[in-house]
Amino acid sequence: MKISVIIPVYNTAPYIERCLYSVLRQSYDNIEIILVDDHGTDNSMVLATRLLETPSGENARPRSLQILHHSENRGLSAARNTGLDAATGDYIFFLDSDDEIPPRAIENLVHMAILYSHPHLVCGSVDVRPESKTALRINEKMPAYIEGNLASSSAILRRDIPIMACNKLVDRQFLMSHKLYFKEGLIHEDNLWSYQMAGSIHNIAIARQITYIYHLNKQGLTLERITPQRLESIKIILILQIENLSKVRPLRTLQQAYILFTAAWFIDLLHEQTHPEFYKMQQWIRTTLRPFNREIRYHTLTNHLLYRALYLPPVVLRAGRNLRGSAPH
């Protein structure tokens, strides 16, 4: 089974060697590394090319390699899409260039893929460094194997597994047949991509071993500062998700709950930063989600309260969001 590890690179010189060493040291042999140069301005690609062309260091082994270049900076989504189009593996594994993976990560994920007859997705556990409240944990109640679209989509839409695109083996043919590319120009593209995947996925395997090391102390793609692009991205994501709601339940209800949680999380973030666009964005979200009111009877009490909280002061909204995150499944 061949695994294509896709690594977008943009101005991550302090971390790129750590990232690439972690792939070169993998215990699993059949790995294709696809490095996508997103036209950065530092020496990331010089360091990366030097390391990959002449691997050195303990347990580092040569790998099949593709190095692709963008002629201009196009963003993370475009870089991932470029890698996806070039990939030849049975499964795709996305890795951010400022993170790393443990030595047996791919081996452990492949083991689960074989054990459960090649599911659409295999997810492992994440080690967040430094330790944080960042929600990247797998729900302890999740079984090792999930079968069927309803159960699989529920695991994603209820965030029982992290919605990050990284740290997952995803069947390449499944991605291509459903045209599951990343929407270019967005921040939080993983939120939309996971939502779109949930509508089609039919089986998930879960590895309990740590298969990804996520570094918080980085200067790259996941800063919490709210920019105009970030505001616009959230609007686009919510609109596209609403436009693509399923017509059948319970999938439609699960999708609506996912949208409500995203909206509540972002409003809370705006309030935390006393952002000048807070009230304007809050009103936009209220107006955009108002049609949900007609269908709220299909939701759990927790989701009902979360929807109502969008119309209440921020402190109540935060309590509702926390309630949704800690509710028993």
Domain parsing of the chain, residue ranges? 3-215, 228-326
Query: Has this prediction a pTM greater than 0.85?
Result: yes
- How high is the pLDDT of residue 322? 60
- How high is the pLDDT of residue 91? 98
Instruction: Spell out a b/e string for 249-262, using b for 16 or more CB atoms within 10 Å of the CB, else e.
Output: eebebbbbbbbbbb
- How high is the pLDDT of residue 272? 81
- How high is the pLDDT of residue 329? 42
Structural contact between residues 31 and 3, judged by C-beta atoms closer than 8 angstroms? yes
Token pair of 40 as six digits:
């950065």
For the domain covering 3-215, report its CATH number. Answer: 3.90.550.10
HSE value, Cβ hemisphere, 13 Å, CA-based, for 188 = 21
- How high is the pLDDT of residue 268? 83
Per-residue pLDDT in tens (0 to 9) along the chain, 329 residues = 999 999 999 999 999 999 999 999 999 999 999 999 999 999 999 999 999 887 766 667 778 899 999 999 999 999 999 999 999 999 999 999 999 999 999 999 999 999 999 999 999 999 998 876 666 889 999 999 999 999 999 999 999 999 999 999 999 999 999 999 999 999 999 999 999 999 999 999 999 999 999 998 655 444 567 889 999 999 999 999 999 999 999 999 999 999 999 998 888 888 888 889 988 999 999 999 999 999 988 888 888 877 877 777 666 656 655 655 554 44
